[in-house]
Chains A and B, each alone.
Chain A
Amino acid sequence: MLDIIYIAVTVAFFALMLAYVRGCERLGRDETGEERS
């Protein structure tokens, strides 16, 4: 049972990190009005 929980925690953590990548990308896109040069 605990094996399943630890594996689920691992999968959930890396899924969270992939969502975090998207979040950071969105934070960057919010700056569209800002000068990019």
Chain B
Amino acid sequence: MTANGWLQILVFSLAVLAITKPAGLYILRVYDGSMRWLAPVERLIYRVCGIDPDEDQHWTRYAAGLLLFSAVSMLVTYVALRLQNHLPLNPFARGPVVDRQAFETAASFTANTNWQSYSGETTMSYFSQMTQLAFHNFASAAVGVAAAVALARGIARRSDGRIGNFWTDLVRGTLYLFLPASFILALLFVQQGTIQNFAHHVTATTVEGAKQVLAMGPVASQSAIKQLGTNGGGFFNANAAHPFESPTPWTNFLSMFTIFIVPAGLTYTYGRMVKNQKHGWALWAAMFVLFAAGVTTAYWAEARGNPIHVARGVAAAGGNMEGKEVRFGIANSALYATVTTDASCGAVNSMHDSFTPLGGLVPLVNIQLGELIFGGVGSGLYGMIVMAVLTVFIAGLMVGRTPEYLGKKIQSREVRMAMLYVLIFPAYILILTAASVLLPAGLTGLNNAGPHGLSEILYAFTSVTGNNGSAFAGLTGSSYWYNTTLGLGTLFGRFAMMVPMLALGGFLAERKAVPESLGTFPVTTPLFVVLLLGVILIVGALTFFPALSLGPIVEHLLMNAGRVF
């Protein structure tokens, strides 16, 4: 580890702290309707789509709108990918996307996951990239933030189960937040040298005389929203390690920083909405502690390198450089891997499969904690709120009083919804991982034996169900078994968790606020943050500990004993 590496991590952390309040205030104005500079466009959309922006929807209606929008947009994308050879903007005459991959891709992008079992530059036409995948990058991000804001409204108000209007939240999030922010970020990327064109591929002659085809395309505009919306799906297979996508240290920094802007800002927005800013900062602090622990562990493990290589005198300078872009080095690779898996982004600038076992454990655990360390846009905040509800419930049991959260009593139906939210996630991951290591269809895709092979399968199901989308690599996910189960995993991980979360918001909205008393567990103190961290670690880490012990943990012990996989 180097002082320079730590300094870069410190600068990144301070930048996230600095952006939290301005981003949070901006998001607050977007969703409370006071942002009006695109009002004519907004009104036109409502008129064309027949939306009544003043309708305050019951949570069941809000959830139904969200599900129907997602279902229709997913089906449209499936059909468009299957027919891309008949559609325009296909200069390389790409054929239709294979049925199983079209299903997985449509599901994955609808669910803000962007798991890719194909190389974007050789599979997708420009039309598919720009109208289908980019559409979902915007829409799925706006859906995520809308859901989080709806939950916050449920907590903040007494409204007979009404939590806002899904359609206006969707339109406002897209129009005022993601479109303008992506436009500015795309310009910054272009200024730094990220390509943005519709050119044909370029054939270059290398210094060794070989011919190399260089893919072109509208990369900057695609990359901007995939970072801001924590989508992560790369235009190129190499994602943010590709020099045409991230050509400079600044693009690498911006790429990481923009992943955290909206999730960090939302903690401030939430504090303002529930009129308890200290609670918003308490959630931010819990997220930051987990982030700091992750990046420290990953950086330490990667800088330490592989002891077998060190003993034989063949180790790269500075630590484990396998699978890393030399331009970015170990500190920025460890930081990127931590950021992209803390948030449910999934963009990568290094290959997580090539990390040391403990270095690779960090991205895996980050996702398994529930994608709430700043988390995906919206999903990070609502995941953390569910954990906060469980925390006050446990604290209430400890002191023998009815638990309260921000003035609302937490009773059995709220806890049921929180438990549904918490249990669906590990259930899908562990059941499908177990099935994959037992069935021939699951094992045929595996390229590594032993604990590393288990880690690869576990990571794949963790990544899709956590709506992260980053790949551990080493697993051939392009098969009917994996394309179908991973595609379904993205849907369960998104919508089967959103429904009880919205129900929680609706149920809390039905409750009358009670004044704080001496028996109320404070949710703004360091004690609350510590208890919240304890609940997150118990619920997240311990659920997966048996599987982790058979994967990366035993692999680490075997590596120290001289065996690698």
Contacts and interface: CB of A to CB of B under 8 A. Distances in A.
A7 B417 CA distance: 29
Interface in A16-37: 17-18, 20-22, 24-25, 27-28, 30-31, 34-37
Contacts, number: 78
B409 A10 contact: no
Contacts of A31: 411-413
Interface string B402-423: 0000000101110011001000
Given A17-B495, A24-B500, A25-B60, A30 B102 contact: no
Contacts of B484: 9
B413 A34 contact: yes
At the interface, is chain B mostly helix, strand, loop or mixed?
A: helix
A36 B107 contact: no
B67 interface: yes
A6 B500 CA distance: 26
B551 interface: no
Contact of B103 (A9, A11, A35): A9
A28 B413 contact: yes
Interface string B58-70: 0010011001101
A14 B99 contact: no
A7 B78 contact: yes
Nearest to A16: B496
B71 interface: yes
Contacts of A2: 99-100
B67 A3 contact: no
Contacts of B103: 6, 9-10
Given A17-B496, A24-B420, A35-B411, 4 more contacts: A6-B78, A10-B71, A25-B60, A34-B412
Closest 6 CB pairs of A and B: A14-B71, A24-B503, A6-B103, A31-B413, A2-B99, A37-B512
Interface of A: 2-3, 6-7, 9-11, 13-14, 17-18, 20-22, 24-25, 27-28, 30-31, 34-37
Interface of B: 60, 63-64, 67-68, 70-71, 74-75, 78, 82, 99-100, 102-103, 106-107, 409, 411-413, 416-417, 420, 484, 488, 491, 495-496, 499-500, 503, 506-507, 510-512, 514
